Structure 1
Amino acid sequence: MTIQTTGGRLRGIAAATGAMALGAMGMVALAAPASAAIPNFPDGPYSVTVHKYAQPDDATGLPNDGTEITTGLTGLEALDGVTYTIAEVSGIDLTTAAGWQLTEHLSVDATGAVVDDATPATIYTTSVVDTQVTAAGGVAAFTGLDLGVYLVSETDAGANNITQLADPFLVTVPFPNENAWLTDVHVYPKNPVTDITKEVDDSGAHGLGDTVVWPITAGVPNIPDGQSLDSFEITDDLDTRLDYQSATVTLTAADDTTDVPLATGDYTLVNTGQNVTLEFTTAGIAVLAANQGGTVTLTIDTTVNSVGDGTIANAGILYVNDSDHDHGFESETPKTTWGSINLLKTDAADPGNPLEGAEFQVYLTEADAAAGTNPVSVGGVTTFVSDASGAVTIEGLKSQENGTGANLTYYVVETQAPAGYTIAADYSAAESGVAFTVLPGTTTNATVTVENPQVPPFELPLTGSSGTALFIGGGLALIALAIGAAIVIGRRKSHAGSNL
Structure 2
Amino acid sequence: MAIKTMRAVAGSMLAFALAFGASAVAAADPQPVPASNIDVQKQDASITIHKMLNPDQTKTATGEEDPDAAGTPLQGVTFKITKLNLGLDSNADLERAAQLTPEAAGGLKTDTTFQVTTPEAGVVTQTVPVGVYLVEELTPAAEATLMAGGERINPKDLVPAKPFVVRVPMRNVAGNAWNYDIHVYPKNSTDALIKEVKDAGKNGGGIIAYTIKVAAPLVQGEAYRTKFVVKDNYDAAKLENLTVTSVKVGDQLVDPVNYDIADNDGELTVTFKTGAEGRLVYDIPNNFEVAVTVDARIKSTAQGEIKNKAFRIDRDSTMESDSTKPTNEVNTYVGAVKVVKKGLGGEALEGAEFELYRCVPKAGDKWELKGEAIQTLTTIKDGTATTKPLHVTDFEDNSTTVADENQNYCLKETKAPAGYVTPKDDAAITHFTLTRENLGAPGYTTIKMLPEITNEPSDTPDLPLTGGQGVALLVLLGAGVGGAAVYSARRNSTKA
What TM-score results when the alignment is normalised by the length of structure 2? 0.50
What TM-score results when the alignment is normalised by the length of structure 1? 0.49
Q: Which has the higher strand share?
A: 2
